[in-house]
Structure 1
Amino acid sequence: MPTVCCSTGYTASFVLQEADGPIMRMPFSLLALFRCAGYSLSRFRVPRFLNDSCRVAVTGAVLALLTACTALPDVGSRPIEFAPTETEASCLTQRLIEVYGEDRVLASGPAESGFLLLKEGPDALEARLTLARKAEYSLDVQAFELLDQTSSRVLLAHLLEAADRGVQVRLLVDDWGNDYPSAWLASLATHDNIEVRIFNPFPLRPAWRLNYLTHFARVHRRMHNKAFVADNQVGIIGGRNTGDAYYEASPERIFLDLDVLTLGSVTRDISGAFDLYWNHQLASEASRVSLGRYGTSLNTIREEFASGLPEQRTSWQWDDGDFIWAPATLYVDDPGKILRPAGDITGHLMPRLLSEITPTQHEALFVTPYFVPGEEGTDILLDLIDRGIEIDLLTNSLAANNMPIVHSGYAPYRRELLEAGIRLWEVQPTPWSLYEDANDEPWQSVLTEQVTLHAKVWVFDRERVFIGSVNMDPRSFEHNTEIGLLIESPELAAQILDWMEPMKNRLAWRVVLEENGDKLWVEEPDVDSPGSEATAIANYDPDSSWWQRFRIGLYTLLPIEFLL
């Protein structure tokens, strides 16, 4: 049944609480070294050679800098906003009713919802653009990363066109992954039908890295949610951020990812989750973040969008897909998670989601780009093995990982997991162009220098699927906010397994233990070549340099696992 699992505890105003926690995932920094060594800003000392008056002045200036830069922008007494509920008259809704029936499309509460898996990047982008073109009432877009790249500009151009038609557009973007200056976003929001809010904004701009010296307990914790909702009727959630690599449009790297398009009751749940974040005190208007500055004019933005953008294909149609109708539950973190002290699990989705693993009886598949199980997560997986449950786990290899430091939180647990009988697969960085001759494979026409896994999906007993933004690491479990859907559908589970099997066969190494206990990376036999055998590749992380492996070895010695 489509129900929302989150801690509401939500009122029109919120109390800002101090939090304590590690820094966010980012290139390993001096701050992280200081933190690990036990240093803090309380150890700051003014040089002794300064006289007393100078020392007082310098100390006062430093304290003023540090304290003045930690406050959130004042959101004032703004009204609470919600997605429109009366959208049945739109052409989009009427077409959905014509195809799937009013009982399904307009259902609310406990009812089955419709799902369509978006496996290929171009389809995932075109689905969003199509919904933007067809929307008549509202478009709500929630993004962790909004990169200044072609796909993002195309999407923003479609949002602007929708606003020109009278569609109410709300764009909520996390500040860490946002390439666009707040003043530019404030200019976009001068449109009468566009609102832009920045979630958990950095106080110091544009030198945002300095925020980790002033208030990293808050700023390292980010809104990792990704959602797209049109007319409160059709939604998209999954792992994709907004940038070329996520839509297979980058020549340097593409991310192998999954989204799911939703119809019916669960879409209203996604809208409700968006409203929860939109109305939170951490969501500040772009104009407040920019301190009233505007980076350009709306006319200039229109001119930029009107020139230099490629034509988009129009072959994708939302009603051409064969939707799967099934019960579902939306899991979403309470946005107040970011403000609460570390260790306070109030409003966290993970304790409730982990309880869904318990009914598993036969097998489980976990697909995650960043895998940092820790002792607790390892114990959970080993307990499943002790119950006779078979586990396959697909993650990135060191060479394919776009966040190599995360590998230091995975590598120390690899042997224990293998000894327990867990089957580990690691995605290769192999260019997909090598598989251009493959038949009916999603990557057959893609040219890129490197591929990286980015999908986040779990499958239990080939009957239930969890798909969303959640990585299997402390950052998702404890620090960032996340969202995802648990869908009870053997048919959808079969589609995901069919998507994954050729990837394991062609784009991943399997990690095994030899008789002497050494780890061995192998390529499994080609399913298209009967009689072929597994090929041994290496006894160390393949396609990685000695310097990469040396750095990972150093990182494993540092107490940084809780940062990853």
Structure 2
Amino acid sequence: MSVLRAFVALLALACGGCGSLSALQRDQAAAIALQARSDVVACQAEDACAQPSPLRALGERAMAESAPGQPRHYALLLDYGQDALVSRLDLIRGARHSIDLQTYIFDEDDAGHLVLDELMAAVRRGVRVRMLVDQLSALKQVDTLAALASAHTNFEIRIYNPVLDRARITYPMYAWAAACCWRRLNQRMHSKLLLVDGLVGITGGRNYQDDYYDWNAEYNFRDRDVLVGGPVTAEMAANFEAFWDARLSVPVERLDDVGRHLLRKGAPPLPDWPYQHPARVEAVARAADDKDLVRERLVEPAIPVGEVLFIADLPQKHRRDRELAASAVHASPLLNQLIESAQDEVLLQTPYLVLSDQAQDMFRRMHERPDPPRVIVSTNSLAATDSFITYALSYKYKRRHLREFGFEIHEFKPFPEDAPIDLDATGAVDISWNPDGSANIGRVEPEPEEGQRRTPPLEREYAALRYAGIGVHQRVPLKRAGVRFGLHAKSLVIDNRIGVVGTHNFDPRGDDYNTESAVIIDDPAFARALGDSIRRDMAPENAWTIARRDRPPVLSGLEYSLTKVSEHLPVFDLWPVRYATSYEFQPGPACPEPLPATDPGFRACYEPVGDFPEVNLGFRTLLTRIFTAFGAGLAPIL
């Protein structure tokens, strides 16, 4: 009976005081927001008094240089967090007609508030702005959402797939949603796009949150976007329109919690967002105003390319009709076809090495070819990842990855020594700089000021599990302090000729639950630049190499057989010895360059450093082993 009472209490807590609004009440709430919207426009000029934007001009140039059947594009890799933020500000300030923003996470921290401030400034000078955010990681304050819904006639915000007809859900509501509609709860809009005037688009891994721009004092993502100017933006615009018009995209003022706020309190004014680090915000805003800097750092490195393909799932992927849903899936099958077309080499970067059954079959077929291509994988270590449960699935299948698929795996370190990271932006100390401006990180994390408390990042990509218990998305403790970094980039290079940057983690979630998108560029120069970026992340100073551990002196065949049998069990994979472990490169006269794990001289140049290097073994390490043993069934949603 006590369990039943607890369940009833949970349902009451989830539903109490939050009954659905009637159709009339929704109309009334929408009317309140509509009537409150200002229609004052500060500029009557045709260009909306836009600032000169070198990046927007890059899109204009691409359009001018294009001809029927001969498209011209300019593509720019955005590896550095500050570059990614400056490029967004430059484009928003240069917008003359429209800005469409689509994202999974939009947080109310300094990065999120800065972008909102810039968007509202564009709105007031006459630019139409549309903002589409997934429900589970939308702005967290209902008051903020109500204010945005009522702000201006040029601004619209919609929430994608609002479970329980709300913009925000609490933990009890999440439990109720998981019980009533688990599949829908898992179906998220993971697509990301910033499109300005139909000329220039940005897509890739980054959301709108401090830790995607090196602004978090505790943990940041090593991420990557691609900026593209040229005719392909028409395909980006069409995909955005499909999402904007989808039945799952709901104007925020028509949702129960925001609508009730409007009915009870009226339309609130836009809040004053005090920045936690105003000097840092001012510095990046000033950098975006420096057009010479933007040209030198962002426009000049842009690579001229020909045809560019934008592949993206449609929102119909989330329809109940499975045949209709399957017809709306575009990213996964095209990416798999591209990978399987490789003849010489696949360079794959994903933060979470969890493969679908189809992907496993594909890599197995590729490895069984008479002359298989090399498959080189850059992914997170347990010390670097933001999702230790997801890492556990990768850890479970390392034998399969190395032996059956022929992967060469490099796991990113939490404290990379040479990475495209703006470390000074995090507030860390003891920084030295490499010639290209990247950080060389020998750091000590500064102590928090009196009365301040550090908090971990608020959201993570694995939305359906971020409400779960036992700190699913808290990182494992490490042996030393410092600002930690983890991979979040999703990229692919095929045969040093085709480069892909997008949102797909090459995992079952991307195949079955999330909507995804990617830019594909068949150009050797672009592929080379992207490949160099990924290889840098796999360099010994930034990553450990995964290889088979030394064979035991006796019964090595029996141990291997037991490992293989245990791995194939869906649960109770309790064999304590894994097939592979982590290795650290030991340079010297006999070892001048890093070697692949398959090289005969590998063990003479590499030292084993354990399964979980840098990790302070304890509770979460135990949990990793538990999920390795019992968590295989979570792979589809992880």
TM normalised by structure 2 equals 0.71
Select the residue among 330, 337, 352 that pairs with 1:370. Answer: 352
Aligned residues: 503
Could you report, residue by residue, the CA deviation over 1:198-255 in whole angstroms, capped at 9, with x for unpaired residues? 1111325542423223322212211011110111111100000111111111111110
Q: Which moved more, 1:445-454 or 1:304-313?
A: 304-313
2:209 paired residue among 240, 243, 251: 243
* Structure 1 match to 2:414: 429
CA distance in 1, matches of 2:309, 2:163: 33
Distance (whole Å) between structure 1 residues aligned to residue 247 and residue 340 of structure 2:
36
Give aligned-pair identity as a percent: 26
> Partner of 1:504 in structure 2?
538
1:466-524 C-alpha deviation (Å, 9 max, x unpaired): 11100121111110111111111111111112222232121110001145164231123
Alignment of 1:50-449 (within 5 A): 96=57, 100=61, 102-104=63-65, 111-190=71-150, 191-203=152-164, 205-207=168-170, 208-210=173-175, 211-289=177-255, 290-291=258-259, 293-294=261-262, 299-301=269-271, 303-304=272-273, 309=278, 310-311=281-282, 312-314=285-287, 315-317=293-295, 319-340=299-320, 345-349=326-330, 350-387=332-369, 388-420=372-404, 421-430=406-415, 436-440=432-436, 442-444=438-440, 449=483
- Residue aligning to 2:36: none
Equivalent residues in 2 for 1:37-52, closer than 5 Å: none
What amino acid sits opposite 2:286 in the alignment? Answer: R
The answer (yes or no) to whether the contact 2:56–2:94 under 8 Å persists in 1 is no
Give 5+ residue unaligned stretches, structure 2: 31-45, 288-292, 418-422, 424-429, 444-481, 552-559, 561-578, 594-603
Decide whether aligned partners of structure 1 residues 213 and 407 sit closer, same or farther in structure 2, where only a CA change above 3 A counts.
same
Q: Which amino acid aligns with 2:496?
A: R
After superposition, the Cα gap between the structure-2 partners of 1:462 and 1:416, relative to the gap in structure 1 and judged at 3 Å, is same
Q: What residue number does 2:575 align with?
A: none
Q: Identify which range, 281-290 or 512-521, moves more after superposition.
A: 512-521
Q: Which residue of 2 aligns with 1:451?
A: 485
Matched, 1:552 2:512: no
Supply the distance in 2 between the matched residues of 1:367 and 1:167 (Cα, whole angstroms).
37
- Give deviations 1:22-56, integer Å, cap 9, x for gaps: xxxxxxxxxxxxxxxxxxxxxx9978xxxxxxxxx
Name stretches of at least 5 consecutive residues in structure 1 with no aligned partner.
1-43, 48-56, 79-85
- Alpha-carbon distance change, 322 to 46 in structure 1, aligned in 2, over 3 angstroms: closer
Q: C-alpha separation between the residues in 2 aligned to 1:121 and 1:445?
A: 16
Distance 2:378 2:141 in 1: 36
Query: Residue 493 of structure 1 corresponds to which residue in structure 2?
Result: 527
Corresponding residue for 2:614? 543
- Which of 1 and 2 has higher RCO (CA within 8 Å, sep 6+)? 1
Shift of 1:526: 5.2
Provide the C-alpha distance between the structure 2 equivalents of 1:98 and 1:127, rounded to a whole number of angstroms: 13
Is 189-198 or 313-322 further displaced after alignment?
313-322
Give CA deviations for 1:386-438 in whole Å, capped at 9, x if unaligned: 22111101111112110111112212221122124320111111265787354
Give the conservation status (yes or no) of the 8 Å contact 2:504–2:518.
yes
- After the TM superposition, which of the residue ranges 91-100 and 400-409 deviates more from structure 2? 91-100
Describe the SS at the equivalent of 2:76. Answer: strand
Partner of 1:481: 515
Deviates more, 1:174-183 or 1:524-533: 524-533
Deviations 1:123-178 (A, max 9, x none): 00010011111101011111100111101111110001000110001111111112
Q: Is the 8 A contact 1:239 1:257 kept in 2?
A: yes
Give the Cα separation in 1 of the matches to 2:338 and 2:303. Answer: 24
Q: Deviations over 1:59-108 (max 9, x none)?
A: x999998x9779999999x9xxxxxxx99998659973798365336x67
- Cα distance, 1:165–1:379 mapped onto 2, change above 3 Å: same
Matched, 1:531 2:592: yes
8 Å CA contact retained: 1:70, 1:214: no
Q: Which has the larger displacement, 407-416 or 259-268?
A: 407-416
CA distance in 1, matches of 2:619, 2:360: 28
Deviation at 1:326, TM superposition (A): 2.6
1:111 aligned counterpart, secondary structure: coil
The Cα of 1:112 is off from its aligned counterpart by: 3.5
Secondary structure of the residue aligned to 1:493 is helix
Query: What are the equivalent positions in structure 2 for 1:2-17 lying under 5 Å apart?
Result: none
Is the Cα–Cα contact under 8 Å of residues 82 and 214 in structure 2 kept in the other structure?
A: yes
**How far does residue 552 in structure 1 lie from its aligned partner after superposition?**
2.1
2:55/2:299 contact within 8 Å kept: no
Q: Tell me, in whole angstroms, the C-alpha distance in 2 between the residues paired with 1:293 and 1:165.
A: 28
Question: What is the distance in 2 between the residues matched to 1:527 and 1:287?
Answer: 64
**Which amino acid letter does the alignment assign opposite residue 361 of structure 2?**
D
CA–CA distance in structure 2, aligned partners of residues 245 and 260 of structure 1 = 18
2-structure distance, mates of 1:245, 1:63 = 31
Secondary structure of 1:277 counterpart = helix
**What RMSD, in angstroms, separates the aligned Cα atoms of the two structures?**
3.8
Q: Does 387-396 or 356-365 show the bigger shift?
A: 356-365
Quick check: 2:49–2:96 contact (8 Å CA) kept in 1?
A: no
The answer (yes or no) to whether the contact 1:232–1:268 under 8 Å persists in 2 is yes
